[in-house]
Chains A and B, each alone.
Chain A
Amino acid sequence: MGTALFDGTEQLINGLMYGCFYALVGGGFTLLFGVLRRFNLAYGSTIMAGAYAGLIPVYLFKAPVLVLFVTTIVVSVLVGLLVEFCCFRFLRKGHELAPLMTTIGMLIVIDETIVHLTDAVGLKYPAPFGDESLALGPFLIRPDYLAILVVSIACFSAIFWLMHRTRFGRAMRAVAERPEAAQILGVSVRRVNVLTFVLTSAMAGIIGFFAAVSVGSARPEMAAWLTGKGLVVMVLGGLGSFPGAILGGLALGVLEFEAVWFLGSSYRDILAFSILFLILMVRPGGLLGSRPA
């Protein structure tokens, strides 16, 4: 096998694994957008808040990684509920654009709070999966990426099961498709909205954990980075389509890894956004989107 082909394949594998991470981020944005038809720009900071909070029991009590993991999820859910309460609950019907402002406000509040509390210094994260590469045949893969792959497949399966096999999932899809129709069948839209926040924020906790683990630290610039990637993946996949978000995340992951390897890391974001523009030119609704946004 030629070196370029070999390297290309290795980056493809890594890109797919890391693409699962992007798919989770985009999936969180997408689920919320699908149900509420509103952007939640505070999602990135919900993720970051969980990632930072997970370190508290580690620094205070030398707690094991499992405690860290659970703490990130719990705190992200609490922050998500705060976002719902402050940024969405009291806005009137028909003010579609207002949450853009309220959630940007929340993003800034959470970011600044974290910067104040930590002096904007990144906090070291444990490396629970070790730092030695694993051999997959001739290819070397990172163990934390493998963990991301496994956990995201579990997450996606759980979400598909929830959406298609449970009463709550049906209600979520009904609200996403036609809120008034769901209402006259007895669904409380407010309840579904709140539970959607709980679900996506629990995902945010998982994302935050892996975001910090893969970089080795919790950092204040995480929120902006995750918001950018999440929105790209959401639009790329087709606004509101969860399978689209998965596909979009995988595509973004592969493209970025190939770009970094062959062109250098400075090209990563340029390429990511160029691809977004290009795909939207060819498929204005995104990869799997059909509904005009």
Chain B
Amino acid sequence: MLSVEGLETRYGGVAAVRGVSLEVREREIVGVLGPNGAGKTTTLSSVIGLLRPAAGCIRFLGRNLTGLTPDRVVAAGIGLVPEGRWVLASMSVRENLLMGAYLRRDGDGAIAREIDRVCEIFPGLRDRHQQPAGTLSGGEQQMLSIARALMARPRLLMLDEPTWGLAPLVVEEIMRVIKRLNEEGTTILLVEQNARQALAVVQRCYVLAVGQVIFDGTPAQLEREHVLKTAYLGGVSSRVP
């Protein structure tokens, strides 16, 4: 469904991603793990079109998306829940959701039904339509950010550190939602620094370090390769059961 080949993206003159290749198949949950600065966020930013790759190729559903602007990539069916959530703080919860449906042209009725649907997934948002998004708690903002991305009905949803800095209960809820979305047919690309969290839900994963893929395989395979974990994930390895 999504294939990234030989991606190279520079960030202020420095190559943050150096020849990353990865593949996400329809209906999969794929994880991208790795320490800070490994190039995970840069990879997602390149796919969505916020950063222009210096080399490599990004294909989605048979279409070449390399170098397209984000509005074209989103229209092609990819959604991004960015690191740091990026909710529009001065706008209401409802307006944030409406912005998520920005490219939809199937009428106000369909969009209103979509709002009902995402509020069924995240009941915490239901009674807060008029509240400014900036006044929500961190966990609620994360839910809004996911709900907003869902408004466009993406075929592939990319989530960048969706559980970062959240309370354990909220983390559980968000992981549950990710699984549910996947079961309902959305393909998921999950970027996480917290390996244990991600390994519990993903079917396959990639490990990135200093801008390169150093492992790809199943969570079970990753656990068997202790050397890799201690070498590149450092302290994280001790938290993998």
Residues of A at the B interface (CB closer than 8 Å) are 167, 170-171, 173-174, 177-178, 180-188
Instruction: Looking at the assembled complex, report how far the CB atom of A22 sits from the nearest CB atom of chain B, in whole angstroms.
Output: 25
Which residues of A have CB within 8 Å of B103?
A: 185-186
The chain B residue with its CB closest to the CB of A188 is B71
The chain B residue with its CB closest to the CB of A182 is B99
Other-chain contact of A174, B70, B80, B82, B88 (Cβ < 8 Å): B88
Residues of B at the A interface (CB closer than 8 Å) are 48-50, 69-71, 74-75, 80, 82, 86-91, 95, 98-100, 102-103, 148, 152
- Interface class of chain B by DSSP: loop
Which residues of B have CB within 8 Å of A188?
A: 69, 71
Other-chain contact of A170, B69, B99, B148 (Cβ < 8 Å): B99
**Is A184 a contact partner of B50 (Cβ separation < 8 A)?**
yes
Q: Give Cα A180 to B80, complex, Å.
A: 11
Which residues of A have CB within 8 Å of B82?
A: 180-181, 184
In the complex, which of the residues A170, A181, A188 has the most CB atoms of chain B within 10 Å of its own CB atom?
A181
16 pairs of residues in contact across A and B, judged by CB atoms under 8 Å: A170-B95, A170-B99, A173-B90, A181-B86, A182-B88, A183-B69, A184-B82, A185-B74, A185-B99, A185-B100, A185-B103, A185-B152, A186-B71, A187-B71, A187-B99, A188-B69
The chain B residue with its CB closest to the CB of A168 is B102
**Is A187 a contact partner of B89 (Cβ separation < 8 A)?**
no
Which residues of B have CB within 8 Å of A183?
A: 49-50, 69-71
Given contacts A170-B91, A181-B88, A188-B71, 7 further A-B contacts (CB under 8 A): A170-B98, A171-B102, A180-B86, A184-B50, A186-B74, A186-B152, A187-B102
Instruction: Looking at the assembled complex, report how far the CB atom of A94 sits from the nearest CB atom of chain B, in whole angstroms.
Output: 10
In the complex, which of the residues B50, B69, B86, B148 has the most CB atoms of chain A within 10 Å of its own CB atom?
B86
Q: Give Cα A186 to B76, complex, Å.
A: 10
The chain A residue with its CB closest to the CB of B103 is A186
Instruction: Looking at the assembled complex, report how far the CB atom of B118 sits from the nearest CB atom of chain A, in whole angstroms.
Output: 14
Which residues of B have CB within 8 Å of A171?
A: 99, 102
**Is A184 a contact partner of B102 (Cβ separation < 8 A)?**
no
Q: Give Cα A159 to B74, complex, Å.
A: 28
Instruction: Looking at the assembled complex, report how far the CB atom of B95 sits from the nearest CB atom of chain A, in whole angstroms.
Output: 6
Q: Give Cα A183 to B103, complex, Å.
A: 11
Which residues of A have CB within 8 Å of B99?
A: 170-171, 174, 182, 185, 187
Which residues of B have CB within 8 Å of A187?
A: 71, 99, 102
Task: Across the A-B interface, give the 9 residue pairs with the lowest CB-CB distance, nearest first.
Answer: A186-B103, A181-B86, A186-B74, A183-B70, A188-B71, A186-B102, A184-B80, A186-B71, A185-B99
The chain B residue with its CB closest to the CB of A171 is B102
Q: Give Cα A21 to B120, complex, Å.
A: 48
